[in-house]
Structure 1
Amino acid sequence: MLTYLILIGGLLGLFLGGDWLVKGASGLALRFGVAPIIVGAVVVGFGTSTPELLVSLQAALGGQPGIAIGNVIGSNIANILLVLGTAALIGPLVLTFADVRKDLLWMTGAVLFLPYAFWSGEVSHVEGLVLIGALAVYLFISLKGSRGEVDDIDAPTSLWIGGGLTILGLVTVMVGAHYLVQSASIIARQFGVSEAMIGLSIVAIGTSLPELATTVMAAIRGERDIALGNIVGSNIFNILAILGITAVVTPIPVDARFLNVDTPVVIGITLLLLALVYFVGRMNRLVGGGMLVAYVAYIALTAGL
């Protein structure tokens, strides 16, 4: 009974924290004259990727490179298909290419770097440094080019209130995700689910729960820039920062299946998202439902490999 209560508490923490994080990030955007899409990409997107960073570092240092690599690729796939798909089901997302062009192109470039990084069978120290250097350039360009771009959004303009809500929301989301993953794993074992499937489904999806909670709350509140920016920023961070930092700490061996199966999938859906924003500029409930079906199909395929 206690495990189920922890599960419910984790879910509650995710959605309350997601709401506070969106409000606080919007307030910071107003306070500093930074575009909400940049706050969504940098503050919210990077902040909610912290669980992925911790998981990948622990896995690589613990001699489990498959988890470290799979966590990065799996989270990017979940962010696009599961998180954006869910947000689109809640309400159609209007996506203006001009507003997210730079960030989408950086995300696409980061994903297209993966085959090169994986080709030798190891992500080396040097490649890790290249990824971290690219992240520094991205942050510099984003923050430099975003001054003075402010949307009319309903959010606190006080620095202390905005910053406090952002920090409180981020901590609450992370704690909620931790206890949700922990309790769900216990429940899964009680029902005889294998350890492999627990890692594949609960842990992989669990590290994307902060993005899911934050993006869903952003969609409900109508903060579309933060909803998309959170996903774009998180995916950029997953590759440039998480893979980069982990490779700098210790080289990461890459299983051939990541190069042959999962990397083409993440490249394909990233290019699909880019085309969707550029040519259509809208993500309706039908598209959102299709993305969720595609994610279930990917999980089923992965489970069978």
Structure 2
Amino acid sequence: MGVLDGRVAIITGAGRGIGREHALLFAREGASVVVNDLGGGNDGSGSDAGPAQQVADEIVAAGGKAVANTDNVADWKGAAALVDQAVDAFGGLDLLINNAGILRDGFIANLDESQWDDVIAVHLKGHMATMRHAAAYWKDQAKSGKTVTAAIVNTASASGTFMPNAGQVNYGAAKAGIAAMTLVAAQELERYGVRANAIAPIARTRLTLATPGMGAIFAQEVEEGEFDAFSPANISPLVAYLSTEKCPHTGKLFAVQGGAISLLEGWHAVKTTETDGPWTIGDVGDRLGAWA
């Protein structure tokens, strides 16, 4: 008996890296998995049906249930087709794991419009598009009187939350948006029996190996038998737990890397100054000058 027996999961970006580890673990734990991956390059260019199909084939060969999907999650109709495929193939949908992403790094003063648009589309719109169509399905299920115990797990990033990274204004903005979007989803979808959480993972993937200043860290070799703190497999148990039917968490953001899991909280006041009357620029300067 697996902890996800009978659950139907969509996992985006599941052809490689963290998403692949999610798909393999979910299948081992009894879930039926729709393995979504456009199969493009790090920058989102091109497409290749191979990665998604290879993971689906690996799951089926091991006795699990999986189908491949190569729809573009940044396309509204593609996201709808992805949800439809899960329902058609396995009779329903219980879990949406948004993991797909690309990198098109650049510094603000030199960033091309396409670098901004492409990253925002795949990450932020890609998360929203799949959530929108999955939420519509779960809403209909709940309205028809069926009991829904669904879960969404979105993928934010340290870059967009607690560890901003120069050269990733597009990626950081998208990931911060995903974190905020998850909190809204948790509030909106609870009435339909849906929980929503997000993770900020740190692991060795194609994207992190390509991140300036970080590739050398993630590429460090680990001796056989030693714990690999940057293995993407370290991320998936948390995501599987958040996907279990009786998990109590919703509206949370968890940082996860190696053997560490942290609960993160958002913006909060650390200092406050007040006035009894209208502010003047001088008053503001005097008060806030001490905070610099």
Q: TM-score range by the shorter chain?
A: under 0.3
Instruction: Answer 1 or 2: which has greater helix percent.
Output: 1
What TM-score do you get using the length of structure 1 for normalisation? 0.27
Larger CA Rg, structure 1 vs 2: 2
- Higher normalized contact order (CA 8 Å, seq sep 6+, divided by chain length): 1
